[in-house]
Amino acid sequence: MTRLERDGVSMQVSDARKIWNSACDKYLVNEVSPLTYNTWFRKVEPFSPDDQTFVLAVPNDVTREYMVKYTDLITNVLVMLTNKNYDVRVKVYENGIADIEESLVTNKKNKSNANTERRHQGSTLNPQYTFDNFIVGSSNGFAHAACVAVATMQGSQNYNPLFLYGGSGLGKTHLLHAIGNQVLVEHPDRNVVYIQTEQFVNEFISCIQRNDYDDFRKSYRMTDMLLIDDIQFIEGKEQMQVEFFHTFNWLFESGKNIVLSCDKPPQSLATLEERLKTRFISGLTIDITPPDYETRVAILKNLADLSNMTLPSEVIHYIANSFTTNVRELEGAFKTIKASADIGHPISLETTKNLLKNMIHPGTVRPLDPLLIMEVVANYYSVTVGDLKSKLRSQDVVIPRHMAMYLCRTKLGMTNTEIGLLFGGKNHATVINACANIKSKLESDPRTQEQLDNIEERLV
């Protein structure tokens, strides 16, 4: 159970969030430009302190000024969705959800005059990040399995602490929330705390200033599971590291699970106390790497399915080849395409290229290499790269294998020996044969030419 739920105010946040999400998905995304939508509307944290008021919490004055212009539009959209004429207000909450929680909880406590114990002010779990909607591939499979293990076998010291690291947008935060959400499904009474390290540090500083440092300690030590995101922000903060060390030990020795995420391995945290580094690597340390082509395609297909959309396969291939290092960007690309489709524009490869041209960083488009050829060919014929490298002799594998060999020869000028090695150690005569086979098919069978054209289109 999250803090908000325990305090009985979750409806004010979770229902408001549901309403806001449908307002965004069904209406607002079509009413404003994708840039405005992604920059401003998606940053809002909605809540509804009472039946008549709908508050849009924003992080700063700039966002507030921008959003205020849209309150009439938002009011109308809320009427359409809920049949209620909400008083829509835009307010600045510098610490995001923590401030909102605080204001709601204080409100509630004042009302009930309850004198309950102070708990941590950590963020709540995002119900949208679950194991169900996390696509598993070779880049994140181990991390995913370890997270599932922690969520289902809490208290097991084998994976304690679990330290996940990897670049931005690769699913670390998603996995941390998924653990918490899963634990709460099975044990709603558990005190699971998810917190961003920056927020943890801020809370610590304000407790020191208010001199209620003991409260801070107690609140964290009461947790059953601590999920702490982006621990790299603790670098260079010595006093904080000392405090964290004690909290860590306390939880660890009480058999409570700790999961940490970081943008680099523990050894690379430059200004981190040695004893903390030792603690961090005493459990299981796993890296998450950028998803491979197949996983990127699966993520896009999943996003399309969730939105009841069918994306042409060349569009999927184009997006998957253009955003290779960051799932957040992959999702951003999908949302842009979806926004355009939602207002009735048909999706084609041309429109996709046009819509995404400003989002693709120069240099991130993957240059043509043998692996890309194999991935694209395998995908086109619905076989796997492993099949291409295998010794399988069935026609549904032989043709794609020959085609991929032919492309490596003609597009990359690789030698027959190099190609043979790449395709699972075949000899050069096999490659010569394969290329000759495709050549003669191209001359005699227009379908082969058509297949080649389609594949070449996906390689650009």
Residues that bind Mg ion (CB under 5 A): 172-173
Distance CA 279, CA 229 (A): 16
Stretch that binds ligand ADP, among 25-33, 150-158, 164-172, 344-352 (CB under 6 A): 164-172
Q: How far is the CB of 174 from Mg ion (least distance, A)?
A: 8
Instruction: Give the count of beta carbons closer than 10 Å to the beta carbon of residue 329.
Output: 19
- Among 173, 182, 416, 451, the residue binding ligand ADP under the rule CB under 6 A is 173
Phi and psi of 97, rounded to 5°? -60, -30
The H or E element that residue 229 is part of is strand 225-229
- Among 119, 120, 172, 458, the residue binding ligand ADP under the rule CB under 6 A is 172
Q: How far is the CB of 429 from Mg ion (least distance, A)?
A: 51
**174 lines the binding site for ligand ADP (CB under 6 A):** yes
Site string for ligand ADP, 116-135 (x = CB under 6 A): -------------x---xxx
Name the binder of 266 from ligand ADP, Mg ion, none, CB < 5-8 A by kind. Answer: none
Query: Residue of minimal CB distance from ligand ADP?
Result: 171
Stretch that binds ligand ADP, among 43-51, 87-95, 172-180, 268-276 (CB under 6 A): 172-180
Q: How many CA atoms lie within 13 A of 379 on its CB side?
A: 25
Q: How far is the CB of 91 from ligand ADP (least distance, A)?
A: 25
Long-range contacts of 211-217 (CB under 8 A, 24+ apart): 215/118, 216/120, 217/243, 217/246, 217/247
First vs last Cα of the chain: how many Å apart? 49
- Among 152, 168, 278, 427, the residue binding ligand ADP under the rule CB under 6 A is 168
**402 lines the binding site for ligand ADP (CB under 6 A):** no
Binding-site residue total for ligand ADP (CB under 6 A)?
A: 16
Q: DSSP letter at 364?
A: T
Q: How far is the CB of 247 from ligand ADP (least distance, A)?
A: 22
* Residue 432 burial (10 A CB sphere; 0-12, 13-18, 19+): middle
Q: How far is the CB of 343 from ligand ADP (least distance, A)?
A: 23
Q: How far is the CB of 263 from ligand ADP (least distance, A)?
A: 8
- Tell me whether residue 55 or residue 147 sits nearer to ligand ADP (CB atom): 147
Within 291-369, where are the H helices?
293-306, 313-322, 327-342, 349-356
CB 96 within 8 A of CB 45: yes
Distance CA 183, CA 177 (A): 10
**232 lines the binding site for ligand ADP (CB under 6 A):** no
User: Would you tell me the crossing angle of helices 213-221 and 197-210 to the nearest 10 degrees?
Assistant: 140
Q: How far is the CB of 139 from Mg ion (least distance, A)?
A: 16
Query: Which residue type, as a one-letter code, is found at position 384?
Result: T
Name the binder of 417 from ligand ADP, Mg ion, none, CB < 5-8 A by kind. Answer: none
Sorted by sequence, the CB contacts under 8 Å of residue 255 that are 6+ apart come out as: 155, 157
Q: How far is the CB of 165 from ligand ADP (least distance, A)?
A: 9
- 310-349 positions binding ligand ADP, by CB under 6 A: 327-328, 331
Tokens 């938002």, residue located: 74
- Tell me whether residue 31 or residue 292 sits nearer to ligand ADP (CB atom): 292
Tell me the β-bridge partners of 53.
50, 87
List residues binding ligand ADP (CB under 6 A): 129, 133-135, 140, 168-174, 299, 327-328, 331
